[in-house]
């Protein structure tokens, strides 16, 4: 499996495939139609500030309407999808432009000025309504709004990407690689977290609201905060390390990429090399039929082995995993599905009933527990960190002698290491969208 040469090349087939999937799901659940609402703008309490709009991903699955609040799509078996394309008469904000030709021909497009024009479709008990807009909940019977079994069916379908979707994600990876390369250069120039973040966005001409998630731009010990959210404007006196977890979007589809760098040669730089080598072995193991939980546990063994090799722990890799010591240094899951949402849907359910697939005991943060299938896109992101609260708890409750505390004290100011790639499951060898993108930028 490989991405089309252009994004639009596979779009017509993508819409046809979605029509078939939705028709099958509607029939299975006893519905005649579905109306997917884009969502409405949200205004902050006692203010006129509008939060950045995020479109309903179920609508984005069909159409690249990333900025089109209050539009809606009507899906009926045997009919061309009907789009209520909201273009308000507005002089306070710029309204959406006319539909683009490359996608508009696949839909019956009805431009509307009224935010509730979707009601023209006719509300009835045989229609399912998908979304969280207030206008939906006030007009539709609760049993028809986001019916759980139908959504589970659709979520499971969304795990298998079409060629169009993979092309979007390959382009997002390309943009991400360009921006990561610019961010590394900014780090090498000695810039602050804030300035590195700005360089990242400017290099691919995206504003914060267009990113799939808030960029994690972490110097030194900030790299040990897994979802570090600040962008410090002051440069540390001694810059030792840099961890950046940042992505890009194309038509709503995300890239999710992490890289870690050392400011100079030494043990931390050697740790990064060891982690990168190990991460690439994990990426190469991504094949159809693999139980992702097994790969997660393998990552723990591998990371514990690195900890042992670098004299950070004083016990075997197997013992470190069994006792929970490896989780002190690697507390999160190996990865997750990726697509229209950074943490894409259906990673933990087995069927339309939503039957959960349990996480391995002692691993509560794993976001993907399913067997992999052709068309899945997922992340592989092992990490190794020096996190003060977790180390303190181990010192209080665990086997103190299992950790070389002098070595930990030396490495703690570097924060941590995470390396993350985006992988497509194919019928053969996995497709690494991230490494392919970095290769074309001349980076890693």
How far CA 318 is from CA of 174, 300, 383, 393, 394, in Å, comes to: 38, 9, 18, 21, 17
What's the pLDDT tens digit per position in 37-83? 999 999 999 998 999 999 999 999 999 999 999 999 999 999 999 99
Per-residue pLDDT, 23? 98
Average pLDDT over residues 201-227: 97
Instruction: Answer whether 411's CB lies under 8 Å from 268's CB.
Output: yes
Where along the chain do the CATH 3.40.350.10 domains lie?
8-146
Match domain 163-441 to its CATH number in 3.40.50.1980, 3.20.20.540, 3.40.50.300, 3.90.230.10. Answer: 3.90.230.10
Beta-sheet pairing, 383-385 with 416-418: antiparallel
State the average pLDDT for the chain. 95
Q: Using DSSP, state whether 260 is helix, strand or coil.
A: strand
CB atoms within 10 A of CB 98: 10
**Cα–Cα nearest to 436, from 49, 107, 2, 87:** 2
C-alpha dihedral sign at 6, 70, 343, 220: positive
**Cα–Cα nearest to 86, from 49, 117, 131:** 117
Percentage, residues of the chain above pLDDT 70: 98
Per-residue pLDDT, 351? 97
What's the pLDDT tens digit per position in 15-28? 999 999 999 999 99
- pLDDT above 90 for 93: no
Token look-up 């943009």 returns: 175
DSSP 66: T
- pLDDT above 70 for 5: no
What's the pLDDT tens digit per position in 229-258? 999 999 999 999 999 999 999 999 999 999
Where along the chain do the CATH 3.90.230.10 domains lie?
163-441
What's the pLDDT tens digit per position in 262-284? 999 999 999 999 999 999 999 99
Token look-up 């103190």 returns: 400
- pLDDT above 80 for 4: no
Residues comprising the chain, all counted: 444
**Can you point out the beta strands (E) in 38-178?**
72-75, 82-86, 108-112, 127-130
Q: What are the backbone angles phi and psi of residue 26, rounded to the nearest 5°?
A: -65, -45
As a whole number of angstroms, the distance between CA 307 and CA 71 comes to 52
Alpha helices in 127-265 (DSSP H): 134-139, 148-158, 163-188, 193-204
Average pLDDT over residues 207-211: 95
Per-residue pLDDT, 2? 52
Write down the CATH number for the domain with range 8-146. Answer: 3.40.350.10
As a whole number of angstroms, the distance between CA 372 and CA 160 comes to 10
């Amino acid at each position: 499996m490989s991405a089309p040469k252009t994004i639009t090349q596979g779009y017509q087939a993508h819409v046809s495939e979605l029509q078939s999937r939705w028709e099958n799901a509607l029939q299975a659940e006893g519905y005649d139609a579905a109306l997917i609402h884009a969502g409405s703008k949200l205004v902050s309490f006692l203010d006129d500030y509008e939060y950045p709009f995020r479109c309903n991903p179920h609508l984005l699955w069909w159409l690249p309407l990333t900025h089109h609040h209050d539009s809606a799509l009507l899906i009926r078996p045997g009919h061309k999808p009907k789009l209520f394309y909201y273009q308000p008469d507005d002089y306070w904000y710029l309204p959406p432009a006319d539909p683009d030709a490359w996608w508009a021909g696949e839909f019956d497009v009805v431009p509307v000025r009224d935010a509730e024009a979707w009601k023209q479709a006719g509300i009835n008990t045989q229609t399912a309504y998908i979304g969280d807009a207030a206008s939906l909940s006030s007009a539709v019977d609760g049993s028809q709004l986001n019916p759980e079994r139908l959504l589970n069916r659709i979520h499971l379908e969304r795990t298998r990407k079409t060629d169009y979707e993979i092309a979007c994600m390959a382009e997002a990876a390309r943009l991400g690689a360009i921006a990561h390369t610019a961010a590394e250069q900014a780090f090498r120039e000695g810039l602050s977290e804030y300035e590195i973040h700005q360089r990242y966005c400017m290099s691919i001409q995206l504003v914060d609201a267009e990113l799939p998630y808030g960029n994690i731009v972490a110097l030194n010990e900030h790299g040990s905060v897994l979802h570090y959210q600040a962008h410090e404007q002051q440069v540390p006196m001694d810059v030792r390390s840099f961890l950046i977890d940042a992505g890009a979007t194309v038509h709503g589809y995300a890239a999710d990429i992490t890289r870690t760098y050392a400011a100079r040669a030494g043990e931390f730089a050697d740790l990064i090399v060891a982690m990168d080598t190990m991460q690439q072995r994990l990426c190469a193991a991504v094949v159809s039929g693999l139980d992702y939980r097994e790969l997660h546990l393998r990552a723990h063994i591998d990371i514990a082995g690195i900890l042992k090799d670098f004299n950070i722990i004083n016990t075997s890799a197997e013992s470190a995993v069994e006792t929970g010591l490896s989780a002190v240094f690697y507390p999160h899951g190996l990865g997750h599905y990726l697509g229209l949402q950074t943490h894409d849907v259906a990673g933990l359910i087995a069927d339309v009933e939503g039957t959960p697939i349990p996480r391995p005991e002692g691993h509560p943060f794993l976001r993907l527990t399913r067997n992999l299938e052709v068309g899945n896109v997922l992340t592989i992101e092992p990490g190794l960190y020096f996190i003060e609260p977790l180390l303190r708890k181990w010192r209080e409750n665990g086997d103190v002698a299992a950790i070389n505390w002098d070595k930990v004290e030396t490495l703690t100011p570097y924060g941590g290491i995470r390396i993350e790639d985006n992988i497509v499951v194919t019928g053969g060898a996995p497709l690494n969208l991230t490494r392919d993108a970095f290769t074309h930028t001349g980076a890693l």
